[in-house]
Structure 1
Amino acid sequence: MPRRSGTRTRRVRGIIFLKDVALLALTAFGGPQAHLALMFRLLVDKRRYISTAELLELQALCALLPGPTSTQTITVIGFRLGGPNLAYLTLLVWITPAVTLMTLAGLTLSHLDPVRVSGLVQFVQPVAVGFVAFSAYRIAQKVIHTKTSVALMVAAAMLAYFFQLPWMLPLLLLAGGAVTTVRYRRHAIIQEKKPLRIEWSNFLLWLGILVGAAALGHYTQLLPVRLFENFYRNGSLVFGGGQVLAPLLYAEFVEFKHYVTGPEFLSGLGLVQAMPGPNFSVAAYIGALAMRPAGGTSLQVVGALVGAAGIFLPGTFLIFFAIRFWDRLRQYRVVQASLEGINAVSAGLVCAATFLLYHPLPYRLLDLPFHLGPINTLPLNPLLVGSTFLLLLWEKVPSVVIISIALAAGALLG
C-alpha cells in the first residue's frame, strides 16, 4: 500500500509539473534568458520543484552542451522529478505550442503580415526584459555571498556584454569554475562516494543518428531525410541558443540549399521572436517551406515535423547522457568548489542579458495627459521594464497576467 501511494503521489506531481510546463510554453516570450526568469518564478519560487542553486547548476550544465539551453534545462528538470518518461513528456509539452504556431506560419506565409505581428508583441518585448532584470536580481541575491563571487559576476557580465561571441558563454562558465576550484579544501570530504560510471547509450545514440542520417540522406536523396540530417547536424553544433542558430540556418538553407528566400527566412526569424517557447522552433517553419516543391499541405507538415525533430533531438540526447553521471561527478570537492564560480558567472550572464535585450528595443515616447514643467513625454520602454520589475518584486501579480496585459495592449494599440 505505501508503495502504491508513493507512485500515485509521484504521478500527481508529474501531472501538475506538466501543467506548469504547458503554462510556461504558452507564456514564455522573450528568448532563453526570459525563459529562465519565468522558470525561477514558477518552478523555484512558487512550486519549489528545485532550488535556485540547482536550477543555475543545471542551466550552466546545459549551456556547456550544444543545443537549445532553455529546452534542455526544463527537460532535465522533468528528468530529475520523474525520470526519462516525464522528461520526454516535458519536452513534447514545452515545444508543441511553438512548433505548431511556426508550422502554421510556414503553411500560411502569404497570408501573414509581420508588421501586425510586431504590433501585437510590441509591449511584450520590454516586459520580457523586466522579467530578465528581476531574474538577475533574485539570482544575485541567492548565490552571491563572497567577494570572489561578486568579482566573477561583474567580470562575466562585462565580458558577455562587450564580446558577443558563440564560444564566450561556455568559456566564461569554465573559467569561473576554474577560479573557485582552488577553494576545494573548504568543502567537506564525502566519505562514501558512489563510483563514477558513465552510461554511453545516449551519446552513442546521438552519434549513430548523426552518422546514419548523413549516410541515408546521401544514398537515398530523399528530401525529408536530407532535411532531418541538415537540422540534426546544425542542432549538434550550435552553442549559445537561437541567436547563434540563425546565421547557421541562413547559410545552410538560404545561401547554400536555396530552400527558402532571404525575406522568407527573416520573416520567420521575426515571427519566432513573437512566439512563446523555444526559438529553435523556427526549424518547423523552414521545414514546412522547404517541402513546397514536393507539393501538398500534408508533405509540408511532414517537413515541419522533420525539422522540429532534427533540431531538438541532439541536445536532448546529449543532456540525457550528461545528467546521468553529473550527480556522481559533483561528489568530488573540486567539482563542488567549481559550482560557486559557475553560479556567479551565470548570474553575470543574466545581468548582461538584461542590457543586451534592452538595446534592440525601438525608441518609443509616451505622451503625458498633463505637463510636468517642460516635460510632456516620457520614454515608454524604461517605464515598462521598471513597472514589470516592481510588479514581480511585489509578488502579487502572476507572470501570465503581466504577459496577457502586454498582449492585450498590443492588440488594442498595435
Structure 2
Amino acid sequence: MAVKSVKYYFYVRDVLLLSITAFGGPQAFLAMVLDIMVRKRGYLSENDLMELNALCQVLPGPTSTQTISAIGYRIGGPTLAYISLFVWVLPASLMMIIAAILIDYLQESGNGTLEFAKFIQPMAIGFIIYAAQRTIKIMIQTREAMVIMLLSAFVAFFYNSPFIFPVMLIVGGVSTSLKYHKQPKVEGKSGLNINWDNFLLWAGVLIFAAVLGHFTRLLPVRLFENFYRNGSLIFGGGQVLVPYLYTEFVEFKDYLSSEEFLTGYAISQGLPGPTFSISSYIGALSMREYGLTGQLLGGMVAAAGIFLPGTFLIFFVIRFWDDLKKYRPVRAALEGINAVSCGMLLAAAYLLFEPMEANTFNIIAIALTYCLLQYTKVPSPLIILIGILGGIGYSYVLAAF
C-alpha cells in the first residue's frame, strides 16, 4: 500500500510538472509525456501510450486531458484519474481567469479599449490558420473528406447557430460510414461487453444541467451546460473548439466581444497546459457583471463543464475500444467526423477575421505570425510575448500623442 501511495504521489507530481511546462501544443505534450512517464518513470509502455493517445484523438473532448486521465486510470483507478485531471487543468485555468480579470479591469480603466492587444488579436488569426493547415494535413486524406470539409465550412459561414454543429458532425459521420466496405476487415471480432456506468454519468450530468438551467435560468448553471455540451462535441483538439465557442458566446449570446475573444485565444497560445483552458477565460468574462467573485465562479464552472465530459467518455470507451474499433462502420465514420471538424476550423479563421478591420497592419501581423510558426522554431509563448510587448509599447506611444 505504501509503495502504491509513493507511486501515486510521483505520478501526480509529474502531472503538475507537465501542467506548468508543457508549452507548444499537443505534439510537445506527447513528447514530454513519452519522456517523463514512459522512459523515466515506466508508468506504461510506449505502445500503450500511443494507443491511449490515438483513442483520445477519436473521442470528443480535450485529447491531452483525456490522455492524462486515462494514464491515471490505468495506474490507480478513477480516484487517481480525477486527481490528475484536477492537477493538470488547474494552473492553466487559473492563469486564464486571471487574464480575464486583468483584461476586464484594463477595459474599465481605459475607456473600454484593448490597445495593448492590438498586435496579438490579428496574431491569433495566424495561429488558427497554422493550426488549420496542420490539422487538415493530418485528417484529410481522401476526396470525400475534402468535399465534406468544404461543405462544412460553407455551412458554418452562413449558419452560425451552435445547434447546427452537432447535426453536421452526425451527418459527416454517417456519410462516410456508408462506405465502410473500403475499410479492411479485422479478424477475431467478438461481441461488445459494455459497462454503461460512465456513459450514464455523462448523459445524466448533461440532461440534469440542461433541465436545471432551463428552469432556474441561473447563469452559472447555464454556463456549465453550455461548456459541457461543447466539451461533448469537439473532435480534433483545442483549435477546433475555437469556432464553437466563438459562435456561441460572441455571436449568439454576446457575452464578450470579438476583440476580447481574440485576445484571450492569443494569450492561451502562450501558456502551458491544456488549450481548452480558454474556456475559463470566456466563463470569467461571461460573469463579469457579478464582480470578482462572479468571474472566479464563471471561470471554474466553465473549466468543469469543458473538461468533465471528455473524462467521462474516455472512462466509458477505454474498456471496450479494442472490440469496437474492429467494426468497419465505426472506423469509417471517423473520417467524416474529422472532416467536419476541419471545416469548422476553416470557418473559424474567417469568422474571427470578419469583425476586424482588413487593413495592411492586420494582414501583415497575420502573415508574419503564420510564417514564424511554419518556417522557424520560435516557440509560441515567445511569439505571443513579443506581440504583447509590442502592443504595450504601442499603447504608451498612443497615449503620449
Aligned to 2:44: 50
Counterpart CA distance in 1 for 2:241 and 2:138 is 26
Aligned to 2:269: 273
Cα–Cα, structure 1 residues 178 and 68, in superposed 2: closer, same or farther, change >3 Å? farther
Counterpart CA distance in 2 for 1:299 and 1:47 is 41
Aligned to 1:321: 316
**Partner deviation per Cα, 1:264-294 (whole Å, 9 max, x = no partner):** 1111111111111111111111111111223
Which shows bigger deviation, 23-32 or 281-290?
23-32
From 201, 204, 208, the equivalent of 1:205 is: 201
Cα–Cα, structure 1 residues 178 and 34, in superposed 2: closer, same or farther, change >3 Å? farther
Counterpart CA distance in 2 for 1:317 and 1:80 is 14
Equivalent residue pairs, number: 321
Counterpart CA distance in 2 for 1:58 and 1:38 is 15
Contact in 2 for aligned 1:64/1:170 (Cα 8 Å) = no
**Partner deviation per Cα, 1:292-315 (whole Å, 9 max, x = no partner):** 223x21111111111111111111
**Partner deviation per Cα, 1:57-83 (whole Å, 9 max, x = no partner):** 111211221111111011101100111
Cα–Cα, structure 1 residues 117 and 155, in superposed 2: closer, same or farther, change >3 Å? closer
Verify: 1:83 aligned to 2:77, yes or no: yes
Matches within 5 A, 1:137-156: none
Structure 2: any 5+ residue segments left out of the alignment? Answer: 107-113, 153-168, 335-366, 391-401
Aligned to 2:293: 298
Counterpart CA distance in 1 for 2:268 and 2:12 is 23
Q: Measure how far apart 1:211 and its partner are.
A: 1.1
Q: Measure how far apart 1:115 and its partner are.
A: 6.7
Q: What is the TM-score with the length of structure 2 in the denominator?
A: 0.66
Cα–Cα, structure 1 residues 254 and 180, in superposed 2: closer, same or farther, change >3 Å? closer
2:310 maps to amino acid:
G
Matches within 5 A, 1:35-184: 35-109=29-103, 110-111=105-106, 113-114=116-117, 165=149, 181-182=184-185, 184=186
From 34, 41, 52, the equivalent of 2:28 is: 34
Aligned to 2:306: 311
**Partner deviation per Cα, 1:115-143 (whole Å, 9 max, x = no partner):** 7989xx99xx9xxx9xxx9xxxxxxxxxx
Verify: 1:214 aligned to 2:210, yes or no: yes
- Please provide the CA RMSD for this pair: 4.5
Aligned to 1:375: none
Counterpart CA distance in 1 for 2:183 and 2:36 is 30
1:301 maps to amino acid:
L
Cα–Cα, structure 1 residues 281 and 49, in superposed 2: closer, same or farther, change >3 Å? same
From 14, 17, 33, the equivalent of 1:20 is: 14
From 201, 219, 242, the equivalent of 2:238 is: 242
Q: Measure how far apart 1:240 and its partner are.
A: 1.0
Counterpart CA distance in 2 for 1:223 and 1:274 is 29
Counterpart CA distance in 2 for 1:69 and 1:58 is 10
Contact in 2 for aligned 1:213/1:228 (Cα 8 Å) = yes
Counterpart CA distance in 1 for 2:138 and 2:53 is 19
From 237, 246, 252, the equivalent of 2:248 is: 252
Higher-Rg structure is 1
Contact in 2 for aligned 1:66/1:239 (Cα 8 Å) = yes
Aligned to 1:3: none
Cα–Cα, structure 1 residues 170 and 320, in superposed 2: closer, same or farther, change >3 Å? farther
Q: Measure how far apart 1:180 and its partner are.
A: 7.8
Cα–Cα, structure 1 residues 196 and 159, in superposed 2: closer, same or farther, change >3 Å? closer
Contact in 2 for aligned 1:28/1:277 (Cα 8 Å) = yes
Counterpart CA distance in 2 for 1:24 and 1:247 is 27
Contact in 1 for aligned 2:120/2:263 (Cα 8 Å) = no
Cα–Cα, structure 1 residues 230 and 381, in superposed 2: closer, same or farther, change >3 Å? closer
Q: Measure how far apart 1:53 and its partner are.
A: 1.8
